[in-house]
A = this chain, B = another copy of it.
Amino acid sequence: MSEATAKQGPDTRARILNAAESLFMTHGFEATSMRMITGQAEVNLAAVNYHFGSKDALIQEVFRRRLTELNRDRLGALEAEEALANGAPLKPSKIVAAFFGVSLKMAADTEHGGATFMRLLGRTYTEPNEFVRQFLAEEYAEVVQRFMSALYRALPDVPREEILWRFHFMMGAMSYAIAGTDALQLFAGDFDDEDPTRLMPRLMSFLLGGLRAPLPEEVIESRAIRRDAA
C-alpha cells in the first residue's frame, strides 16, 4: 500500500510525460523514439500506448498539460490588469507584459520543467508536422483573440492588420529569446549563459520598442487614402 510497494513509482503517466517533454526538446519529435521515452521514464515500452494510445496523442498531451495552465495564467494576468483599469483601455505595455511576462515566468521555472517546456514550445511554433500545428492553433485560439481585442482597443489608431503582424514579430522574438542560448551561440560562440531573470526586462523593452515604432510610410499613406475615401 505504501509507495514503496507500488510497482511503478508514484505515477507512470506523469513519468512518461516528463521524459517525453525533455526528450522532445532535446531531439525533436521525430528523432525521439518511444524506446527513448520509456527508457528514460523507466517504464515498459507498451505503457505509452496503454496510457495515451499513440505517439501523436502523447505529443498532444505533453502540450495540453502545460498550455492549459499557461493560457489560463495569461488570461488571468490580462483580466487582473483590466480590473485595475476599471473599464479604460489598457496601456500596450501592460498587455504585452501580461502575455509575455507569463511566458518568461514559466521559462524561468527550472524546477518543475517549465523552462524545458517553453523551449520546446518556442521550437514547435515552426514545427512542420501538420497535426501539431493544428493542435496548437486550437489551444491558442481563445487567448489570442482576447489579447488581440485588448490591443485593438489600446491602439485604436493603428490598423488591425499592422497590430497582428507586430504581435507575430513579437512572438518570434520571444521564441528565440527562450530557445535562447542554443541559437545565440549559433551567432556568438563565446556567449555566456547568464542569469535568466535578466531576460525579462531586456526582451520587454525590445518588444515595446518594436510595437510602438512609427508605421512604415507606405502604411501611413494607404491609411490616409482610405480615410479620404471614407
Given A202-B219, A209-B212; A144-B187 close (CB under 8 Å): yes
A205 near B201 with CB under 8 A, answer no
Q: What residue of chain B has the Cβ atom nearest to residue A175's Cβ? A: B172
For chain A, residues 1 to 60, give those with C-beta under 8 angstroms from any C-beta of chain B.
25-28, 30-31
A179 near B129 with CB under 8 A, answer no
B176 near A164 with CB under 8 A, answer no
Contacts of A141 in B (CB 8 A): 189
For chain A, residues 169 to 198, give those with C-beta under 8 angstroms from any C-beta of chain B.
169-177, 179, 182-189, 191, 198
Q: Return the CB mask of A194-230 against B: 1 if under 8 Å, else 0.
A: 0000100111111111111111111100000000000
B213 near A205 with CB under 8 A, answer yes
With most chain B CB atoms within 10 A of its CB, the pick from A31, A128, A202, A205 is A128
Contacts of A203 in B (CB 8 A): 169
- Kindly state whether residue A79 has any CB partner on chain B within 8 Å: no
With most chain B CB atoms within 10 A of its CB, the pick from A27, A125, A179, A198 is A125
B140 near A186 with CB under 8 A, answer yes
Q: Give A164 to B185 CA distance when docked, in angstroms.
A: 10
Q: Which of B31, B129, B186, B216 contacts A128 (CB 8 A)?
A: B31
For chain A, residues 127 to 180, give those with C-beta under 8 angstroms from any C-beta of chain B.
127-129, 133, 136-137, 140-141, 144, 148, 162, 164-177, 179
- Kindly state whether residue A68 has any CB partner on chain B within 8 Å: no
A175 near B126 with CB under 8 A, answer yes
A209 near B218 with CB under 8 A, answer no
Q: Give A4 to B170 CA distance when docked, in angstroms.
A: 51
B128 near A26 with CB under 8 A, answer yes
Closest 7 pairs (CB-CB, A-B)? A209-B213, A172-B176, A30-B30, A201-B216, A210-B210, A169-B173, A28-B128
6 A-B residue pairings within 8 Å (CB atoms): A133-B182, A164-B188, A167-B187, A171-B183, A173-B173, A206-B210
* 10 further A-B pairs in the complex, CB-CB below 8 A; given A27-B129, A172-B174: A26-B128, A31-B128, A165-B202, A167-B187, A202-B219, A205-B214, A205-B216, A209-B211, A210-B210, A210-B213
